[in-house]
Amino acid sequence: MKPFLRWRTMFGMSLILLLLIPTMASAAQNHYYSGGWSLYSMTYKSVDTATDNGRCYQGAENWRTTAGTTMTQDNSAGKNLCYWRNFPLETWHGLYTPYSTYFKIEVNKQQIEADFPGYSWAAGINVATHEFGHAQYLGDHDTVGEGVYASTSIMSYSRDRTTASTPGSHDLADLYDFRNPSFLAPVSENKPEPKADFPHYTVDKLIQDNWTDLVVVATVESVQEIKDDDPEGLDLERSHQEAVLRIDPSFKVAIMVFPFPI
């Protein structure tokens, strides 16, 4: 399943669906992700304690109770960061970003509340648990046509985010493999890419539910890292990525046009 980005046109007349086709890569051994932090213990700071109502804490706690990972919340000195706030320009539910001296987890309050009305608490914990999985070297599942892990892995894109948020049997099996001294990790990337937990959409659903009136195929030609300001002074390496896309003119889909209220 490929991620979809949605946005409103400048004139507010319709929604546009953009289908991105990233460069295909083979799945890493046992879904290993080289941007992890530790297999055994970590300390983190819950930045938005006034509003997250323990979502970051519970996401970390789920790993402590099921996998034995030591997860310590330290809101005074923790360098690793967990956010629960609105990211209005983003369509992912959560994002894990590794840096050289810390990692950052962002749980997208606005997108979760939009996609799971009435389930903000459960879905927020589910996404936080997923992102803390990346901190333990666990990669995403169901990214290249895999469709068998939705009920056994918190790391699956196709899981139900409104139900139980504890790591599944497949997550624990992978983690225990990584902890085995004989495990040979794949060659690490020079700079591991961030991991985004995108909504799991299909083209048919988006069209049938009247979410879009245009479908295009685009190839990512280049990506640039842009440094962001950090008024809180916590996230010294805060940045975002901007991509140059090439639209495939040969891809055509005949669909009906629907009006969209703004």
- Complete domains list, the chain, with CATH: 27-197 (3.40.390.10)
pLDDT above 60: residue 261: no
| Per-residue model confidence (pLDDT) at position 1 | 39
| Per-residue model confidence (pLDDT) at position 206 | 64
Q: What is the pLDDT of residues 202-237, one digit of tens each?
A: 666 666 666 666 667 778 777 776 777 666 666 666
Q: What is the pLDDT of residues 161-209, one digit of tens each?
A: 998 799 999 899 999 999 998 888 876 656 788 888 877 666 666 666 6
Q: What is the pLDDT of residues 55-100, one digit of tens each?
A: 999 999 999 999 999 999 999 888 999 999 999 989 999 999 999 9
Tell me the pLDDT band of 53, cut-offs 50, 70 and 90. very high
Q: What is the pLDDT of residues 24-38, one digit of tens each?
A: 333 335 589 999 999
Q: Choose between 190 and 255: higher pLDDT.
A: 190
Tell me the pLDDT band of 116, cut-offs 50, 70 and 90. very high
CA–CA distance, 122 with 118 (Å, rounded to integer):
9
Tell me the pLDDT band of 147, cut-offs 50, 70 and 90. low
